[in-house]
Every structure is written in C-alpha cells, then in structure tokens.
Structure 1
Amino acid sequence: MTAPRTAFAPGRFYGAPTVERRLPGVRLAHLAATMSAEHVDEHSHDDAHFVLATHGRYETTAWGPDTEGPVLVYNPPGVVHRDRFVEAGGYFLAVSFDAGDWRDFSDGRGAIDALRLTGPAARRAALRLTRSLLSADAEPLSLEGLSLELAAEALAPVRDGDHPPPWLAMAESYLADAFDQPIGVADLARVAGVHPVHLARGYRRWLGAAPGERLRTRRLERAADLLMHGRAPIGEIALASGFCDQSHLNRQFRQAYGVTPGEFARLCGRRPDVSCVQDDTRAGA
C-alpha cells in the first residue's frame, strides 16, 4: 500500500528556521535544510509559497528553464512536488502566503503549476527580501512590500501607463505625514485605492524602491533635519523620526550616509551633548 504524501501546514518545510517572521498575510523564514535528498518524498503544502535556495545545490520539479544562478521556485497551494537539496548543508528562504489570501489577491491570475522563476526582477526581489529578513532591524513594511513584489512575479503581468499613476502621489503623501507611525502595505494600498500587489510593483517601477525603502528614507530625512536644526539628544531624535531607538537610527544613518548621527551633527556645526556623542563609540558599532 502506498504511503500517503506529506501535506505541510502553512509555513512548514523540511527545514529548521534560523530566522522567522510572521506578518499580516505572509510568513517569512530563512531555514537550514534538515532532510537529505534520498529521504525527501513527494509532498505538498497547504499554502502558496516561494523558495529561494541561498546555499547548496537545489533540485526542483517545477516547470521552467534550468539556468545557473540562485534557484527560485513558486509552488501554488496543494501542488505535489519533490524539491530538495542534493547535499547536506543547504539553506533557503521561504515566503508563504495563506491559500485563501493568495486566491483573493491573485484574483485567479496566479499560475496553477509550480514555476521556476529565472527573471532578474524575481531574483532581485527574493535576494532583497533575504537580505532584509536577515538584517538586525528589518522594517515590517519593507518585508511586506518585498514579499508582494516577489508574489507579483508569479502573477500575470499588469499593463501600466507611460506616466506615474495618481495613486502613487497619494501614497507618498501619506508616507510623508505618517512616517513616524507603524505603517503596513495594506495601509498604503487602502489610502491609494489599489491592490497591495499593484502598489508594491508600482513603487518599484516608478520610484525604484520598495515602500519600506521609501519609508526609511523619509525617516532618515527627518532625523537629518532634526540633527541639523535641533538640540535634542540623538535618542530623542531617533524616536521622533520613527526609529525604535538610538542604535536603530545609528545603523540606518551610517548605512545610508556613511557617517553616524553624531558625526553628521558635528559636520553641520552642531555640538551635541555628551549623551549624543555616544552613538559613535557604542550604539553606532
């Protein structure tokens, strides 16, 4: 008698998570493979998901060209497959969407078979998402937006006009007004009156950045302005600009501008308090 195929619950794989995040509508995980190739049988998943093999040789039964470079696969809910790492030591990103949510926002346009995604846009979105997930201070909005950009690669293309759509200005205006508050992709989509997937794709096309990147830019701009013209300690500036704490601001500021907030303040002629200078020696490391 043939043994029943394994049907994995949402967000579960042949792997042990090294990092895992649960966001509205999507589960993200970076996992270490736990099963050798010969022990991986045909199986399915209850959710729609993407897998990016970040380390190790990965074999997939998905349809698509067998190309060099990172292996990126989309599996619709319930599709039977036998994807596996050939050797031990594999690592992979998994991006999982609840089956009901996936049906809702794909509106029947999603592929019904497993696909191997080899286009540069799909790989770029998956690699950006991996980098963001593994960072110490990944913004939920950034993770959501990048997840939806990746999802868009498995959906039928949508025609866009030759000029930025009016909804983009509405979304940007909302970001400018509410940058210091928790913001999700759904919030931006609701304000703009478009679908979250359409919003994520539009941001990348017209602005060259994900919504989370635009949010981070706006927060850094506010922090820089306060550092130039205010006298508040850097810790207070961090909170006023929407960052979790001073260390969070220090990392993001130095990554964007190449200097710490304290160094920037001194370059602008400001002489911060002793408590402000500590970002250079401790929190900014």
Structure 2
Amino acid sequence: MAAPRTAFSQGRFYGAPTVERRLPQVRLAHLSATTSADDVHEHSHDDAHFVLATHGRYLTTAWGPKTEGPVLVYNPPGVIHRDRFVAAGGYFLAVSFEPAVWRELSEVSRRVAADALRLTGPAARRAALRLTRTLLSRDADPVTLESLGLELAGQAMTSVSDGDRPPPWLATAETFLADSFDQPIAIADVARAADVHPVHLARGYRRWLGAAPSERLRTRRLERAADLLMRGRASIGQIALASGFCDQSHLNRQFRQAYGVTPGEFARLCGRPLDVSPVQDAVRAAG
C-alpha cells in the first residue's frame, strides 16, 4: 500500500534547522537532513520554495538538465515531488515564501514557472550561495537577507517562450561536453560531434542556451569541481585537475567569478573540513 502524501506547511521540510530566520517576505533556514532516502515519499509544500543542497548527493524530480555541482531547485506551491538525499549527512538551504507573498511577486513579473525547475544558471547559483554564506554568518541584518531572498526568487521568473524547440544536435553537443569536459577539447571538437559547422554551433548555443559553447564547457567543469568539493576528500589542487582546469589558481579564479565564493569558502559552506593552501589564501586576499 502506498504511503499517504504529506503536505508540509510553510518552512517545514525533511530536516532539522541549524540556523533559521523568519522575515516579513521570506523564511530562511539551513537544515540537516533527518530522513533516509527510502523514507522520503512523494510530498508537496504549501509554499513556494527553493532548495540548495550544500552537502551530499541530492536527487530531484524537477525538470531541467541533470548537472553536477550544487543542486538548486525551485518548487511551486502544491507541486508533488520526491526530492531527497541519497545518503545520510546531507545539508541544505531552504528559502520559503508564503502563498500570498508569492502571488504578489508573481503578479509583478511577466511569468512565474508553473513546474518544479532545476536552476543551473550561474546567476541563480551565485545568488543561492551568497544567501547561504550570509545566513550562516548569523549576524546579517534582515534587510540584507530579505534582499538576497528576493534576488533568488527572481530566478524563477521567466520570460514567455516563443514556442520553438531546440534542434536535436544541441542535445548531442551537450552530451559530448558532459562526457568530455575533463579533457582538452576545442570548439571544433564539439561541432564535429554535433555534425554542425562551428559558426552554426556558436549561434545555436547563444540562441537556445544564452551562452557560448566555451561558457557551457566552463560551467560543466565548475559543476564537477563543486560536486567533488561537496562529496570528496581530495585537495583543491587535485580537484582542479580532475575537473579539467590546468591548476588550482585557475579553478580559484573561475569558481569565484561564477559563484561569488572561492572553492575553500564553498567547502566550508558544505560543512567540509579543508586545509586551505597559500594559493587559495592569496586569491581570497586579492578579492
């Protein structure tokens, strides 16, 4: 017999808060996952919310590309899902909006996504990580936290699609990048795998994904680095090489530019003990 679906009230999740702040327009919490994957069943929430997995492997039924790196999900009110951590020890940020507040935000935007979404763009991840870092500092003022929460909310506000569908070769190119990003590859290699001209490839990427192929390649490498920082025990230098970066300082620069934090800072947000090397310290001081 199937287990009954749970409908969580605002701010309630399968987790115990380590830090929690209730503000006029948004409720913020950093939580420790308390339920095993087998015991997480299909459920819904009364509120619209965002979840950023900061430690552990997180599975989600949300629509979107299945990428590595920090998993960031938007769930509208009432959407049934079964998002969960694979193993014990997971931590996550939860950003919740009461239904009335979310309706008001929706009315002033062109469109709010009606389905659960994986948010994989750098702006969304950067906003979520900034909010996590600020919340965990424990001394942030309410205005800052509320502003960051609303900035994250904006990532679920999407423009109306023109109804076109991306060409099949784009999925082929993305699969090639996912399989080869840790190798020294060129744009011509991607175009050859997709069987299109490099110029056609570049135009298609910009139109459909809003980014150049090189930017997508960098994103894949950063996602792998973030995933290894969340789950592994390797040094940042080893992670840089395993992710396709030429060295640690290259990873440091790209990671901070994309996510707004250094790899060492990200590792600490994930709750992972890590000895930060002089290279890491120098990059942070230069910022």
The TM-score with structure 1 as length reference comes to: 0.54
Preserved contact between residue 54 and residue 91 of structure 2 (Cα < 8 Å): yes
What is residue 272 of structure 1 aligned with on the other side?
Answer: none
Counterpart in the other structure of 2:141:
139
1:95 partner amino acid:
V
Mapped pair 1:70 → 2:70: yes
- Whether 1:126 aligns to 2:128 is yes
Answer yes or no: is 1:33 the counterpart of 2:33. yes
Counterpart amino acid of residue 116 in structure 1 = R
1:1-285 matched pairs, under 5 angstroms:
2-107=2-107, 109-157=111-159
Per-residue Cα deviation, 1:123-156 (whole angstroms, up to 9, x for no partner): 0000000000000311111101110110000002
Match of 1:153, SS state, is: helix
% identical aligned pairs: 77
Question: Which segments of 5 or more consecutive residues in structure 2 lack a partner in the other structure?
Answer: 161-284
Instruction: Return the alpha-carbon distance in structure 1 between the equivalents of residues 138 and 33 of structure 2.
Output: 22
SS of alignment partner, residue 124 of structure 2: helix
Gaps spanning 5+ residues in structure 1: where? Answer: 159-257, 259-285
Whole-angstrom CA distance in 1 between matches of 2:56 and 2:80: 22
SS of 2:156's equivalent in the other structure is: coil
**Given residue 13 of structure 1, which amino acid in structure 2 is its aligned partner?**
F
Give, as a single letter, the amino acid of the residue that structure 1 aligns with 2:70.
P
Match for 2:149: what amino acid? S
> Partners in 2 of 1:21 and 1:157 — Cα distance?
31
State the shift of 1:13 in Å. Answer: 0.1
Report the AA paired with residue 87 of structure 2: E
Deviation for aligned residue 1:157? 4.5
Bigger RCO of structures 1 and 2 (CA < 8 A, at least 6 apart) = 2
Paired residue type of 1:119: G
Corresponding pairs, count? 159
Q: Residue by residue, what CA displacement relative to the aligned partner does 1:23-59 show, whole Å, maximum 9, x if unpaired?
A: 0111000000000001000000000000000000000
Q: Tell me how far 1:80 sits from its aligned partner.
A: 0.1
2:254 is matched with: none
Matched to 1:88, the amino acid is A
For 1:82-116, what per-residue CA distance to the aligned partner results, in whole angstroms no more than 9, with x for missing partners?
00000000000000000121011111721110000
Per the alignment, residue 251 of structure 2 pairs with none
Structure 2 letter corresponding to 1:38: D
1:2, distance to aligned residue in structure 2 (A): 4.4
Classify 1:146/1:157 alpha carbon distance in 2 versus 1 (closer, same or farther; 3 Å): farther
Separation of aligned partners in 1, 2:29 and 2:116:
20
2: CA distance, partners of 1:129 / 1:116: 18
Runs of 4+ residues over 2 Å off in structure 1:
1-4
Cα distance between partner residues in 1 of 2:69 and 2:99: 29
